[in-house]
Amino acid sequence: MIAVDDLRPELGCYGSPIVKSPNIDRLARSGVLFRRAYCQQAVCSPSRSSLMTGTRPDTTKVWDLDTHFRTAIPDVVTLPQHFKQHGYFAQGMGKLYHGGFDDEASWSVPWTTPRAPQQPYALEENRAIVRKRQAEVGAGAKKGPGRPRTNGPAYESADVPDNAYQDGAVADLAVSTLRERALHPEQPFWLGVGFIKPHLPFVAPKKYWDLYDPAKIQLATNPFRPKNAPDYAVLPGGELRNYYGIPAGQIPDDLARTLKHGYYAAISYMDAQLGRVLDALESNGLAGNTVVALWGDHGWKLGEHDGWCKHSNVENDTHAPLLIASPALGRGAGQSTSALAEFVDLYPTLVDLCGLPQPRHLEGTSLVPVLRDPARGSVKSAAFSQYPRQGARGVRLMGYSMRTERYRLTRWVHRDDPSKVDAVELYDHSKDPQENTNIAGDPALAGTLAQLTRQWEAGWRGARLRIRP
């Protein structure tokens, strides 16, 4: 299982004319590409906790970056833990759970994140900036949430080898681990490899920056907030502003182009590390008997809606890549599907593909019927995401978003009293795929809104469709 941080579906296999992603494209040729896959909350820890437990954020109680899912569901069996309990050797490396979080019960051997010797900055001038900012913060700075930031520049192009940065070191470990697992054919394995790029900072060896002509990089065509949407629906992107040299206001065009250049270079760098892992699967004789799943934990804005990073319910943030390759796919291999999928579906799908029993706690649906016949249609009528916000006068809100084949409906409700609705958003993707205009208040659509609201109220349980044999 390959986890990629902050990867939006702007890749060669998703139709991008500019992004160089030959190894993800290679995986797509051997598997099924989901064109409409959605995370359950567009920020790292909630998304990863949901995917790895097979449950949704309101079950994990993970809506932020500071809560471990074991707090709310201490006895839940995670995806790798389930495989371990059924005889698999389970190992994780790189970013799988969020940041410093781990889950000892998930692994046969301790999880590790290799630290490259020059991580995350290779250039001395950038390391100097970090040291200066750390000195300014002072040795007595508080730790944890709200701590002063000491991030250096948001991007870097250095003429260094791939393993000068973390993803290259993670790939080194993955390659050696696959070589070791090939020596133990008597025991199946579950291997989680977490790549951190293209997460900020956009640092990548210079050769990956050189793949792109900055003059051909197009800026977002909708650098404005959705019309008629509540002010809190999309925020500017505070995560980016924590980096040195990023202004508080609107990002100037030249800087925006450089940031996109860095994001694309980071994708290509990560993609090359994926290629090394896929090569190791083949060279060790493992490819013919191994399921490979790749996902980006959520989407990402690159200036769309005058925003950067993730942290919202819009399509840019909730829509993310999902590819699954399996020796058992048959005619499905090399195809793509428009079937709706949720990341919470990955757990039951991998269990199904490997013939293991399905745990009773799962809140997703196996996508195996789609894998076997990508043209069959969806196993569900909608995908669900959510994001917390603070409204006027400090009211705590949760935006629950439903994506159907045509529409996105988001209802912002009071967290202390979900019967109170603060705002409603509705977007028609057949006419407005960028979600630029909220049409929830259009009187001509009152019937459509009422029907979608009933579907929203039925939730993910009501969205499950009967699966034909």
Residue matched to tokens 């789609």: 370
Provide the 3-class DSSP secondary structure of residue 157. strand
Give the Cα separation of 51 and 313 in Å (integer). 17
- Whether 319 is a known active-site residue: answer no
- Going by the DSSP 8-state scheme, the letter that residue 326 receives in this structure is -
Q: In this structure, which long-range contacts are made by residues 328-333, counting pairs with CB atoms below 8 Å and at least 24 apart in sequence?
A: 328/353, 329/31, 329/32, 329/371, 329/372, 330/372, 331/372, 331/373, 332/32, 332/371, 332/372, 332/373, 332/374, 333/29, 333/30, 333/31, 333/32
Give the Cα separation of 156 and 118 in Å (integer). 12
Asked if residues 138 and 185 have their Cβ atoms less than 8 Å apart, the reply is no
Catalytically annotated residue among 39, 82, 98, 199: 98
- Whether 44 is a known active-site residue: answer yes
Catalytically annotated residue among 13, 39, 44, 309: 44
Query: Could you please report the per-residue DSSP string of 59-128?
Result: HHT--SSS--GGGT-TT---HHHHHHHTT-EEEEEESSSSTT---GGG-SS--B----TT-S--SHHHHH
**Which amino acid is it at 172?**
D
Q: Cite the active site residues.
A: 44, 98
